[in-house]
Structure 1
Amino acid sequence: MRAKRPNPVRWLWYAVGGRLPDVYREWVLYDLTSRTWVLRHLARALVQHSVWLLLLLLPIPLSLRLPMIVLGVSVGMTFSLSFMEDASERRLIRHGFPAGLNRRIREESTTAERADLAAMYTAWYTATPHADDPPPA
């Protein structure tokens, strides 16, 4: 059974931080733990920071309005990306899930990939240096 997706109006409410009804709980869990969860977070963050477009309505020169919008969106997105783990966990808790569930699900689903990556790093950093390699500084 597929999770019931919210309609566009409910998704906008969810994107700005609102709580969806319980019928969408399975979809919220999928939204915050799928392999595309970072892209989904970026989409929600762009919706939240679209309020900066209201600066276009100000009666000031366009050469001032555009840098204000770029600065506002870039600072907002930087903070949003910095705290996306915490934001997704708070969103899951708000929908009735236990704390830490999103990280646990994401970590369990990528165990093989993380093992391959760890093996690659281990092989790279434990390799014996070649005679041609310069000495470490």
Structure 2
Amino acid sequence: MWAPTIHGVHFQRPDPARWLWYAVGGTLADRYRSWVLWDLTASTWVLRHFARVMVLFAPLWLLLLVPGPLSLRFSMVAAGYVTGLYFSLSFMEDACERRLIKHGYPVGLNRRIREEAETGDRAEIVALYASYHQDRLD
């Protein structure tokens, strides 16, 4: 398992099966809480959201098995991707906040960390909040 330490807080990354569960909306165990906070507030949070969305859209390729002209089948897949991406990217901040709430963090924490990160080190801020909220759970 990958368990780096950033400013004294350990981040344990979930294995691929747990990450898939997390990507489709599942809640991870408490030992992954710090990683979830980091995942949703890292400087690459938009790309990470996009990766989770691509996992959700993978079943759209099954539409290619529907009988009919190939161009129609590819059009169905493309329409599904475009529509899904539009709505997913439109509501990505809300989706990330909902994930944090499911993992026991307070409302608005992701926005607060991102706003504070503009003036400081994002990893340090995440570690600070992770340790604070970990202490409150114990």
Q: TM-score range by the shorter chain?
A: 0.7 to 0.9
Q: TM-score, normalised by structure 1?
A: 0.79
Query: Deviation at 1:50?
Result: 1.4
Query: Quick one: higher RCO (CA 8 Å, sep 6+), 1 or 2?
Result: 2
Name the % identity: 63
Task: Please tell me whether residue 35 in structure 1 is matched to residue 23 in structure 2.
Answer: no
**SS of structure 2 residue aligned to 1:60:** coil
Take 2:65 and 2:17, find their aligned partners in 1: how far apart are those partners?
A: 24
Query: Deviation at 1:76?
Result: 0.1
Q: Which residue does 1:102 correspond to in 2?
A: 110
Take 1:56 and 1:50, find their aligned partners in 2: how far apart are those partners?
A: 12
Range that drifts further, 48-57 or 99-108: 48-57
Range that drifts further, 48-57 or 26-35: 48-57
Take 1:89 and 1:97, find their aligned partners in 2: how far apart are those partners?
A: 9
2:65 to 57, 74, 83: 57
Query: Deviation at 1:95?
Result: 0.4
Instruction: Work out which of the two has the higher radius of gyration on C-alpha atoms and give 1 or 2.
Output: 1
Query: Deviation at 1:27?
Result: 0.3
Q: TM-score, normalised by structure 2?
A: 0.78
Q: Which residue does 1:14 correspond to in 2?
A: 22
Amino acid at match of 2:48: R
Query: Deviation at 1:111?
Result: 2.9
**SS of structure 1 residue aligned to 2:78:** helix
Amino acid at match of 1:33: T
2:119 to 111, 114, 118: 111
Q: How many residues are aligned here? A: 112
Amino acid at match of 1:21: A
Where do 5+ consecutive residues of structure 2 fail to align?
Answer: 121-138
